[in-house]
Amino acid sequence: MARRIIVVGANAAGVEAASAARKKDRTAEITLLSQEKNAGYSRCGLPFVIGGQIPSFKDLTVYSPAYFQMLKLNLKPETKATAINTKEKAVTAVDKAGTTETLQYDSLVIATGADAFMPPIKGREKQGILSLRTLEDGEKLLEAVQNGAKSAVIMGAGLIGLETGVALIERGLKVTVVEMLPQILPQMLDADMAKMVQEHLQEKGMCVLTEKAVEEFLGDDKVTAIMAGGEKIEANLFLSAFGVRANTKLAVEAGIPLGESRGIKTNGRMETDVKDVYAVGDCAEAPNIITHKVACAQLGTIAVRQGKVAGTNAGGGDALFSGILASAVTRLFETEAGVTGLTEAAAQRAGIEVVTGAISSKTKADYYPNALPIKVKLVVEKESQRIIGAQIVGGEGVTQRINALSFAIQKGMTVRELAKADTAYAPPLNEAWEPMVLAAEMVLMKLR
């Protein structure tokens, strides 16, 4: 009898898991359940449709219906999994028409993702507070812009809030970003690096208010203003970008344990504590490569890697997930920012004694036209001299340097080894002294 694999959730992690399972097992019956109308699209591209760089939300489709047909993946859109019975190995699902069916599995992959989070703020039941998670959310946001919104308040200065803020400014809106913490991008950058990004955003016309917690939504039925840090801020559009929370309801109700970070607990094979049930992507937790502490990374890159591991295993193969470094990049107007591994603040929270070094340089030879500024900061464990984190802010060339430093961290490279790295140079492409190498030398000077 053919192996039956059910995947709940058909986005980054779910589709990757189903595809990997198909590669391992050509005859398996693979079913994907998606409560959304659209499956296999890129959430990461949503801010760029809003900003106008990508013409249509339809362009965000990564996996077309033809893809599912070609791999013989039985995709059931607008079908919600409502219960898992791990003893009977069955999933109950309800489709758009209200028809309930029960599907048997040999292996189950939970890839239910995350939902936008709204803290318990007074007035949050009022209408008009938008979020950006699904394609429909994106359509609503763009519709509000097209209906003449002139100003927006974005609550939360994380990646999604800032990318959307930039998009709205590009559409001509006046944008105010309100952040509770003293800095923007608090998960991604240390305060010194975040300051550079904040200055750039302010130069481009974004009003950034830090250390202001949202206290209340004002307005009759519909929000017309917020109170934040004692200040009333009026706008036509309100975006909640407070962060996301793992969508674990289905797993919890089925008795599948969560871990310390409140994500679904998994092992290196992305198996949960229940036999033949895997969890992947934004709903699942996994250990950080450096601290070994578990976390839900909630990044597309991690979701697809975990999906591949679980799918391979569910299809009869043998794969291991190596852990999370949480490498991430973004581009905000003309500034790129990236991180890999631990920030200095995260290392301190983890009780690791570090030495840091930062260098400001250029992305081309100093004399070459249009050389752009770039700053590299390295975080090095004092005792072992191993690189455990890096942040880069600059006009170009951030992503591939972040990737190179991610490889260095994963291979356990010391700062001394990085300082001797053989790097490439040509005036239109780089400085003779690669900025990452100069940052390593800064750390070595402090270590001496």
Ligand X SMILES: Cc1cc2nc3c(=O)[nH]c(=O)nc-3n(C[C@H](O)[C@H](O)[C@H](O)COP(=O)(O)OP(=O)(O)OC[C@H]3O[C@@H](n4cnc5c(N)ncnc54)[C@H](O)[C@@H]3O)c2cc1C
The footprint of ligand X (CB under 6 A) covers: 8-9, 11-14, 33-36, 43-44, 46-47, 80-81, 111-114, 132-133, 160, 247, 250, 281-282, 298-301, 303
271 beta partners: 278
Of 198 and 247, CB closest to ligand X:
247
| Burial of residue 357 (number of CB atoms within 10 Å: 0-12, 13-18, 19+) | buried
Q: How far is CA 170 from each of CA 163, 164, 263, 369, 427, rounded to the nearest angstrom?
A: 11, 10, 36, 27, 32
Q: Minimum distance from CB of 88 to ligand X (Å)?
A: 18
User: CB-based contacts of 17: which residues, under 8 Å, 6+ apart?
Assistant: 7, 109, 111, 278, 280, 307, 308, 310, 311, 314
Is residue 86 within 8 Å of residue 255, measured between CB atoms? yes
Q: Minimum distance from CB of 39 to ligand X (Å)?
A: 7
Of 80 and 416, CB closest to ligand X:
80
Q: Minimum distance from CB of 137 to ligand X (Å)?
A: 8
* Known active-site residue 44: yes
Of 162 and 390, CB closest to ligand X:
162
Is residue 316 within 8 Å of residue 342, measured between CB atoms? no
Q: Minimum distance from CB of 432 to ligand X (Å)?
A: 32
Q: Token pair 């004092």 is at which residue?
A: 382
Q: Minimum distance from CB of 82 to ligand X (Å)?
A: 7
Q: Minimum distance from CB of 269 to ligand X (Å)?
A: 17
How many CA atoms lie less than 13 Å away from 231 in the CB half-sphere?
A: 13
Q: What does DSSP say about strands 4-8 and 29-33: parallel, antiparallel, or unpaired?
A: parallel
Of 48 and 217, CB closest to ligand X:
48
Of 188 and 201, CB closest to ligand X:
188
Q: How far is CA 420 from each of CA 225, 367, 414, 417, 448, rounded to the nearest angstrom?
A: 55, 25, 10, 5, 16
Closest CA to 130 of 234, 240, 211: 240
Identity of the residue numbered 334: E
DSSP state of 38: S
Is residue 5 within 8 Å of residue 109, measured between CB atoms? yes
Closest CA to 248 of 288, 205, 281: 281
Of 298 and 406, CB closest to ligand X:
298
Is residue 358 within 8 Å of residue 320, measured between CB atoms? no
Q: Which of 44, 207, 283, 296 is catalytic?
A: 44
Q: How far is CA 265 from each of CA 87, 181, 239, 318, 325, rounded to the nearest angstrom?
A: 19, 29, 31, 19, 18
Of 235 and 279, CB closest to ligand X:
279
* Residues annotated catalytic, as ranges: 44
